[in-house]
Amino acid sequence: MSNILYFETLDSTQTYLKDHFRELDDKTVVTATSQTAGRGRFDRKWISEPGGLYFSILLKLQKTDFLANFTQLLALCICQAAEKYAIQPNLKWPNDVQVSGKKLCGILSEVVTQNGQIAGLVIGAGVNVEQADLSHVGQPAVSLRELGVNVAKEDFLQDILDLFFQSYPAVTQEGFSVIRSAYQERFPFLGKQIVVKNGTSALTGIAHDLSPSGTLLLQTKNGPQEILIGDLLV
Ligand code: BTN
């Protein structure tokens, strides 16, 4: 299984794995009690005080066909790990986990290149586990504790990693199709009107489906659109 490195404080578990990519083994996991410079998607800050679960996974890739799908796999596994505690999280494409519209977890995926080639990925997640005050998040957010779930962060991390590395070989070979139905079951926006933001532009339409490659198929007033990356504003 994977080697887990525990730290009290790091600037960012993402930065640590990227900086030590060469000397660390494939599938190394690093976790920290707090981060002083936690990063979110689109260059946002991820405030990381003790109480949250902050970890990143280093993946050295032989095949680079399914880069975006490992992030979706991790989101699905976090959803499934939380379901063990009788709550009903769902996925907010591409890789947020939420409960009743409140953010439980965010995921950041970063490509590592060596000599101009993609050498791997560092995928990191911040899960709200024990926090009692998430007012700094800037959007509705919730922790497992607030949902009545008392789980040790180390146990929760282990459950997530077991699920992730169970499906990892198949996703490496076949991509999103391996997890598509499990992902669709947890994606409550199908058939609903949504707004997808990408950079400064926003598209409105009906979420028609998730394609076999994991992209979002949106039916807009100007016809179908395939969305590769973005943020759902719901
Ligand atoms: C997001 O929703 O914007 C993604 C947030 C990802 C935060 C995690 S916490 C562990 C890892 N280290 C970081 O600096 N960021 C990710």
CB of 128 closer than 6 A to ligand 1?
A: no
Topology of domain 193-233, per CATH?
SH3 type barrels. (2.30.30)
Options 3.20.20.70, 3.90.1150.10, 3.30.930.10, 3.30.1490.270; CATH for 4-185 is: 3.30.930.10
In this chain, the answer to whether the domains covering 4-185 and 193-233 adopt an identical fold is: no
Distance of alpha carbon 37 from alpha carbon 47, whole angstroms: 8
Q: Domain coordinates of the chain in residue numbers?
A: 4-185, 193-233
125 lines ligand 1 (CB under 6 A): yes
The response to whether residue 71 sits with its C-beta less than 6 Å from ligand 1 reads no
pLDDT of 62: 86
User: Could you tell me where the beta strands, DSSP code E, fall in the chain?
Assistant: 4-10, 29-35, 52-60, 90-92, 96-99, 102-114, 117-128, 193-198, 201-210, 216-220, 223-227, 231-232
* pLDDT bracket for residue 118 (50, 70, 90): very high
| CB of residue 208 inside a 6 A radius of ligand 1 | no
pLDDT digits (tens, 9 = 90+) for 161-193: 999 999 999 999 999 999 999 999 999 999 999
Given pLDDT bands bounded at 50, 70 and 90, which one contains residue 1?
low
Which pLDDT does position 200 carry in this prediction?
A: 80
Whether the per-residue pLDDT at 199 is higher than 90: the answer is: no
Q: Which ligand 1 atom lies nearest to the CA of residue 12?
A: 14
Q: Whose CA is nearest to atom 5 of ligand 1?
A: 40
C-alpha 137 – ligand 1 centre gap (Å)? 12
Long-range contacts formed by 146-155: CB under 8 A, 24+ apart:
147/85, 147/87, 147/99, 148/87, 149/82, 149/85, 149/87, 151/85, 153/31, 153/53, 153/129
Which of 29, 33, 39 to probe ligand 1 with, by most ligand atoms within 8 A of CB?
A: 39
Q: Rounded to the nearest whole angstrom, what is the distance from the C-alpha of residue 119 to the centroid of ligand 1?
A: 21
Q: Is the CB of 38 under 6 A from ligand 1?
A: yes
Separation of CA 52 and ligand 1 centre (Å): 11
Extended beta strands in 129-222, E state: 193-198, 201-210, 216-220
pTM of the model: 0.96
